[in-house]
A and B are shown apart, each in its own frame.
Chain A
């Protein structure tokens, strides 16, 4: 009776799975096998492929464009993931203390992630035009640098004076007390306007044209073009990641914080001794998600198109596409497949490392 049930289940099980398995086998399993096979051939989408061994991989290693793509992909993934994880964590901790605003916060912060990468990239392309708004903002900051500096100097002076006076009464007024800071900012702004009107400090009238995108300049391991893309990526993903951290924060039992407080921990100490360790699983997930997502960055590169030189924007994902459909050349499926497998392997290594470390953390 029981055995019959199992047999029955087996048949039904495979029948239920059949539609999904057909799709998975054709468009995933077979696709991977074919890519692996193509990477060992000289296939060009039209003629019958000939087996050429590991030659594609050897050519890949000596191809400057591939090395650039690899370097770009890895620096982009590392830099963006690092920045967005830290930012998302800090924001989540901050927002978590604003209990009342949470619903609104979620809506506002979720908003960028509903945009398509195409629409988002177009908006950023407009912002980063040579004579665009970003240039105009940077130009204004540069031209008004002395006024801006004087503003900050005034704010600092007024704040220090206020805090010093207040400390005569209450010993523990923070240097960054927000209520004093509002007043300091007001005085600073008024002072800066006063200085500007009287012309006490120089104001420059230089016209700026900044090539944010169409440039080959490299800044801190990464082309400036990709830094602009990184900014956009961070802008769109930080809010989503922040929501993940927020969920993690809300699952930390408050008794842990109470215990830390009893032991006399300051809020910064309890952040490092309670919050961070409890968030380790979420952090690993966020880092992994971030690395996988950024390693596969393709859309923005394709949409940038002719707006930036190829070597300043190319990533591994785009290199694969570029070799499959090279503009005006014959497809080089062998090298495209080899590069795609490299990208796949990189991703798998990251997932593997996460599993290893993630499990270790949970045990320890």
Chain B
């Protein structure tokens, strides 16, 4: 060994190299976790925004700013005595201030404010909205106050005196004949010439319209949750079946839930019986069935869907959840159950057989109760698969809108709101609502799911 020339300290060097490798591993891991979870985090944050397509993309916006939450809760309490979901109800009286500023000497004009008669969005909601805050709102200017401040120019550093004037408004609920109703939101606009800029407002402005002359708020009495979860509330309230008034998101969830539960039940019956027969019973044709099971797992659904569509159509079951349940092929689960039963000790069954029980009794009273872990794993897989399945509901259930399953419902959301200029907050909110059930399942059964995936490997 040629270590005499340089003062090497081999132990240190080795330790350092090990640490270096470890550091790289963690760099990569953290980077990947950032990419994977970051994508979801950013998409979720965007789903809270008024306009997820805003450019430039802001990472800090009113919906995630705690100080704005408190203001929103205050305004909600003033508007409808509801700090959480806000609104505008009889007896409501809000104080809302705007501060405009202009260089000293420029005339500061009192803005023209109003509560516009505005529908909440472009989609179905436009057809169902019948109450407007503008019918009940009375806006009064209650006072103004001035202050001067010094504004330094960014480029030149030159300092100028500016005047800032705060306009305080009182917006009160005026009910005719005591027949006022609670309105979900209270929009507000302020028109001012471009010589003066809007410096601040009680609630951050939603957007500027008409080249910056009109400051526009979607809702100045939002309440804390009404501010944060606005798009979630909207997607639930505004996607409705126009003929029945049902909330479609809940209908879609219900359908997906029925489909998932139905498939799980069907899967358990089919796969436990068939799996047991394939694992335990020796009879002619068992090999052929086994080959068929494997074969059916490799053939794409597109090969079978035309005939299955016709079967469902001939049974008159199109557009029903039953159709989606029954076309399931349980081969994967049959195979997994077979594997499980093969590892199950034979002796117990044989003892029962000597005792005079028949195969079915043994299966029902001895084998099934002991197969719980395998059944749970299969049920989780089947539930998740059915909940996320797109193809069969897409083909078999096309209308009415309330009959769709969740993934197809999401597609219809995209078609109504997800254009180039669309209401993407609703689309994203719908997508995140749709993953809640599987997310809950993932958290509850995390160990089952993750470990199973690894140990089971490839089916």
Residue ranges of A at the interface with B (Cβ–Cβ < 8 Å):
6, 9-10, 12-17, 19-21, 23-24, 26-32, 34-35, 38, 45, 91, 94-95, 97-98, 101, 105-112, 114-119, 122-123, 125-127, 129-133, 136, 169-172, 174, 176-179, 235, 239-240, 243-244, 246-248, 282, 285, 289, 292, 295-296, 298-299, 302-303, 305-307, 316-317, 320-321, 324, 333, 336-337, 340-341, 343-344, 347-348, 351
Contacts and interface: CB of A to CB of B under 8 A. Distances in A.
B270 A126 contact: no
Nearest to B387: A116
A296 to B, nearest CB: 5
A19 B427 contact: no
Nearest to B46: A126
Nearest to A168: B6
B388 interface: yes
SS class, residues of chain B in contact with chain A = helix
Contacts of A317: 300, 302
Contacts of A30: 307
Contact of A172 (B17, B298, B302): B17
Interface in B14-47: 16-17, 19-29, 32-33, 36-37, 39-40, 42-43, 46
Q: Counting chain A CB atoms within 10 Å of each CB, which of B19, B29, B334, B442 scores highest?
A: B29
B56 A292 contact: no
B300 A344 contact: yes
Nearest to B330: A20
Given A31-B308, A110-B449, A172 B13 contact: yes
A21 B20 contact: no
B55 A343 contact: no
Given A16-B274, A337-B306, A351-B298, A107 B384 contact: no
A119 B390 contact: no
A116 B431 CA distance: 9
Given A122-B418, A172-B17, A235-B36, A34 B388 contact: no
A299 B395 CA distance: 11
Interface stretch (B86-94, B126-134, B281-289): B281-289
Instruction: Give the 10 A-B CB pairs with smallest separation, nearest first.
Output: A116-B388, A118-B407, A16-B277, A31-B304, A31-B307, A20-B274, A178-B23, A10-B283, A34-B307, A13-B281
A138 to B, nearest CB: 12
SS class, residues of chain A in contact with chain B = helix
15 contacts: A9-B282, A10-B283, A12-B281, A94-B28, A111-B37, A117-B390, A118-B388, A119-B410, A119-B435, A122-B413, A126-B424, A127-B39, A282-B458, A306-B415, A348-B298
Interface in B395-410: 395, 406-408, 410
Contacts of A111: 36-37, 40, 442
B414 A125 contact: yes
A133 B435 contact: no
B43 to A, nearest CB: 5
A322 B306 CA distance: 12
Contacts of A114: 384, 435, 438-439, 442, 449
Nearest to A14: B283
Given A95-B25, A114-B442, A247-B457, A123 B431 contact: yes
Given A32-B304, A106-B450, A344 B299 contact: yes
Q: Counting chain B CB atoms within 10 Å of each CB, which of A133, A174, A295, A305 scores highest?
A: A133
B420 interface: yes
A27 B411 contact: no
Contacts of B269: 19
A292 B384 CA distance: 20
B450 A302 contact: no
Contacts of A343: 300, 302-303
Nearest to A267: B21
Given A19-B273, A243-B453, A341 B36 contact: no
A244 to B, nearest CB: 6
Contacts of A239: 36
A343 B457 CA distance: 25
Contacts of B427: 122, 125-126
A106 B36 CA distance: 12
A119 B331 contact: no
Q: How many B residues touch the partner, as a band?
A: 35 or more
B376 interface: no
A15 B28 CA distance: 54
Contact of A302 (B57, B384, B388, B394): B394
A14 B26 CA distance: 54
A6 B283 contact: yes
Contacts of B274: 16-17, 19-21
A247 B289 contact: no
Contact of B410 (A122, A247, A340): A122
Contacts, number: 302
B56 A123 contact: no
A91 B28 contact: yes
Given A10-B284, A115-B435, A244-B458, A98 B22 contact: yes
B270 A31 contact: no
A341 B407 contact: no
Contact of B20 (A136, A171, A174): A174
B303 A344 contact: yes
A44 B66 CA distance: 60
A108 B33 contact: yes
B262 to A, nearest CB: 13
B306 A324 contact: yes
B289 A21 contact: yes
A119 B256 CA distance: 14
A237 B353 CA distance: 47
A19 B39 contact: no
A174 to B, nearest CB: 6
Given A178-B23, A303-B411, A94 B29 contact: yes
B60 interface: no
Contacts of A12: 277, 281, 358-360
Contacts of B198: none
Nearest to A251: B457
B390 A299 contact: yes
B83 interface: no
A298 B391 contact: yes
B229 interface: no
A20 B303 contact: no
Contacts of A107: 446, 450
Nearest to B405: A118
A347 B299 CA distance: 7
A343 B302 CA distance: 8
Given A247-B455, A302-B390, A16 B418 contact: no
B317 interface: no
A335 to B, nearest CB: 11
Contacts of B281: 9-10, 12-13, 16
Given A108-B33, A235-B36, A317-B300, A119 B24 contact: no
Given A246-B454, A247-B455, 11 more contacts: A10-B281, A13-B283, A17-B278, A21-B289, A38-B306, A118-B408, A170-B9, A247-B454, A303-B411, A305-B415, A348-B299
Contact of B301 (A172, A282, A296): A296
A6 B282 contact: yes
Contacts of A115: 388, 435, 438
Interface string B431-449: 1101100110010001001
